[in-house]
Chains A and B, each alone.
Chain A
Amino acid sequence: MERTRLRRQVALTRQSLFDQGFLDEQFIQLEDLQDDANPNFVEEVVTLYYRDSARLITNIEKALEKNSLDFNKLDGFMHQFKGSSSSIGAKKVKAECTLFREYCRAGNGEGCTRTFQQIKKEYATLKRKLEAYFQVVRQAGPAETACWPK
Chain B
Amino acid sequence: AAAMAMNADLRRERAAATFQPELLTHILDGGAERTRRRKEIEALVVNDPDFQHEDLNFLSRSQRYEQAIRKSSLMVMKLREYGIADPEEIYWFKSFVHRGRPEPLDLHLGMFLPTLLTQATPEQQDRFFMPAWNLEIIGTYAQTEMGHGTHLRGLETTATYDPATQEFILNSPTVTSIKWWPGGLGKTSNHAIVLAQLYTQGQCKGLHAFIVPIRQLGTHEPLPGITVGDIGPKFGYDEMDNGYLKMDNFRIPRENMLMKYAQVEPDGTYVKPLSDKLTYGTMVFIRSLIVGDSARSLSRACTIAIRYSAVRHQSELKPGEPEPQILDYQTQQYKLFPLLATAYAFHFVGAYIKDTYRRISGDINEGDLSELPELHALTAGLKAFTSWTANAGIEECRMACGGHGYSRCSGIPDIYVTFTPSCTYEGENTVMMLQTARFLVKSYTQVSSGQRVTGTVSYLNDLSRQRIQPQHVAARTVTVRINDPVSLVEAYKARAARLVEAAAKNLQAELNHRKSKEDAWNRTSVDLVRASEAHCHYVVVKLFTAKLSEISNAAVRAVMTELCLLYALYGISKNTGDFLQAGILTNAQITQVNQHVKELLAIIRPNAIALVDAFDFHDVHLGSVLGRYDGNVYENMFEWAKKSPLNKTEVHESFHKHLKPMQAKL
**A pairs with B:** no
Show the binding face of A for B, using Cβ within 8 Å: none
